Homo-oligomer: A and B are copies of this chain.
């Protein structure tokens, strides 16, 4: 492996000078600079990142904490974040945290071994040591898509319960009174979206009926299908359904088809997240759209300012969501 010494020798200068041009400092005479650049080009030399990271206090790398298995919404967000991070000149390291405690612990350990300039968390970690580590070492942190009390971190999110309320109110406006819900058990958004569902019912004077609520174990289509089947067996009936994520909604549509129920003919379905898929499904899904691109951009921009300003205060920002009417919902007949 070719090193900075080789370049210095080749160009007939000291390593300090090579280092200077490597780090685009302008205080190097043109002729030396050119000889150095030529040597670099000729050898295809690229500085060893490990060495550079070790000596400088910053690593120019940002960590992204992700769930072990990420859903489509997170996948899209992650792409956007990654892209912007690259624009800002950051490297990215990924830290997958399984939901169990061991997984989070292993994740934290890996995190500690790297010196990160900052970190973006896409996955609600439960472990308190996580927050402790970030706080003790003053690592700038952005929580993307959720809030967390007690964390000294900037948070970008939407108002989950308001959005859910909006979605369910729409179903009510269409004349539906028997509205089922597919919720979840993990992460704070599940309780917040369920809260929105309850608020909407309350506002319309509809009694909450727990037989109309099923909880999915996993936020994927299979989870949605399974939950729908539970609802079918629970001795209740409904003409509309609110699923707290699009994947759940799409899975439920699949299961409804298996029960010979059509959407929106027999059941109106509204989802949440507006993943790419939702505009290509049959029928296209009515849903809540999170401002994904803005959330990603903003997370990166705010993290960057946190990193560079060094004394920025954490903020909690609720971005506006939008409601997207498509073909999976209809007026109650």
Contacts and interface: CB of A to CB of B under 8 A. Distances in A.
Interface of A: 1, 44, 46-51, 53-54, 59, 69, 75, 79, 82, 86, 91-94, 96, 109-110, 112-115, 129, 133, 137, 220-222, 225, 250-251, 253-254, 257, 276-277, 280-282, 284
A290 to B, nearest CB: 19
A86 B49 CA distance: 22
A211 B79 CA distance: 36
Contacts of A280: 221-222, 225, 250-251, 254
Q: This chain: how many copies in the complex? A: 2
Q: Which of A75, A86, A221, A282 has the most CB of B within 10 A?
A: A282
Contact of A54 (B54, B225, B250): B54
Contacts of A253: 282
13 contacts: A46-B113, A49-B50, A50-B50, A50-B54, A50-B59, A50-B115, A69-B79, A75-B75, A94-B94, A220-B276, A221-B276, A222-B280, A251-B280
Contact of A133 (B44, B54, B92, B225): B44
Given A1-B115, A50-B50, A115-B50, A257 B282 contact: yes
B54 A1 contact: no
A277 B96 contact: no
Contacts of A82: 96
A49 B113 contact: yes
Contacts of A51: 50, 54
A137 B1 contact: yes
A322 to B, nearest CB: 20
A274 B133 CA distance: 42
Contacts of A53: 50
Closest 6 CB pairs of A and B: A46-B112, A50-B53, A221-B280, A49-B113, A50-B54, A254-B280
